[in-house]
Amino acid sequence: MEISIEDLYEDVLAKSARGLGLSAGQLAESTGLEKEEIRGALRGEFVEEQARKLAPVLNLDADALVLLGEKYWRPLPVDIPGLACFNTPFEDMEVNAFLLWDPATKDAAIFDSGADASGMIEFIRSKALKAHGVWVTHTHRDHIEDLQAIVKAFDCPIHVAEKEMANFGNAFSAGTSFHLGGLHIETRLTWGHAMGGTTFVATGLQRPVAIVGDALFAQSMGGGMVSYKDALSTTFSEIFSLPEDTIICPGHGPMTSVAEEKKVNPFFAANF
């Protein structure tokens, strides 16, 4: 199943403008564009000349923003043993949950539940995998809606970052590591979208894998609901410092890679 890009051109403009506290009027004044042109762009009307004027004011990479507006880029498909994505509808969007396992020992780790964990539960049983727990990227409802179904199915613990201050699960601090069979899972705090947003970096498969929640999407990022500044800085320092072949597993949209996002992500491409 092909998963659509999560954020469109207008979504990226709006996230940046909101994060920087810039109104349509301020954008018009700073870019020399008319207010109606700004409003049109925020409605999704893509004009390359306008995008290139907006990009520096919004601290976005112009070439990457234009690429997003043109709507033709797609990340390379990801298919490695020991990694599966489960995409389920939640209200007006779709949300991802992920499963990692050691193909040799069948020890498995679940990351988030998504809106409906039934497909993942069936997959785990069909492969005779040993689910050792659920690791939560952050506690926004769409990502944890069906946690209890997983716990009921496998009698396994839930692990949640202590900074999320959840009233359930086992709390862990950033930097804590977990081991499952041949898998090593490192935790990195990538907050800003959520107070305790966590990226889980797993090694032991053919390529490194980073389950990032809403810290980063293909060609975009989660909104800075807690702190836009910190969402940008922690994502940059904790995710873009990973090896370029690292697979990015986002909470929404298709899987991508560090190398690809360095080139096509409007929020970060200017740094590379």
Q: Are residues 59 and 91 in the same domain?
A: no
Q: Are residues 115 and 238 in the same domain?
A: yes
Tell me what pLDDT residue 252 has: 98
Q: Which of 106, 113, 164 is CA-nearest to residue 132?
A: 106
Tell me what pLDDT residue 174 has: 94
Does the residue 38 lie in any domain? yes
Does the residue 197 lie in any domain? yes
Does the residue 39 lie in any domain? yes
Question: In the listed set 17, 48, 70, which residue is the last one of a domain according to the structure?
Answer: 70
Q: Are residues 167 and 212 in the same domain?
A: yes
Tell me what pLDDT residue 16 has: 98
Helix, strand and coil percent figures for the chain, each rounded to 5: 35, 25, 40
- Overall number of domains in the chain: 2
Sheet (strand 198-203) strand order: 177-180, 183-189, 198-203, 209-213, 247-250, 256-257
What is the percent of the chain with per-residue pLDDT over 70, rounded to a whole number? 100
pTM (2 d.p.) = 0.97
189: which strand partners?
198
3-state DSSP assignment of residue 217? strand
Does the residue 224 lie in any domain? yes
Average pLDDT in the chain = 97
Q: In the numeric block, which tokens belong to residue 53?
A: 């004027």
Q: In the numeric block, which tokens belong to residue 7?
A: 């954020």
Q: Are residues 41 and 91 in the same domain?
A: no
Question: In the listed set 42, 70, 98, which residue is the last one of a domain according to the structure?
Answer: 70
Does the residue 77 lie in any domain? no
Domain holding 252: CATH number? 3.60.15.10
Range of the domain at 172: 83-271
Reported as type and span, the H/E element at residue 110 is strand 107-111
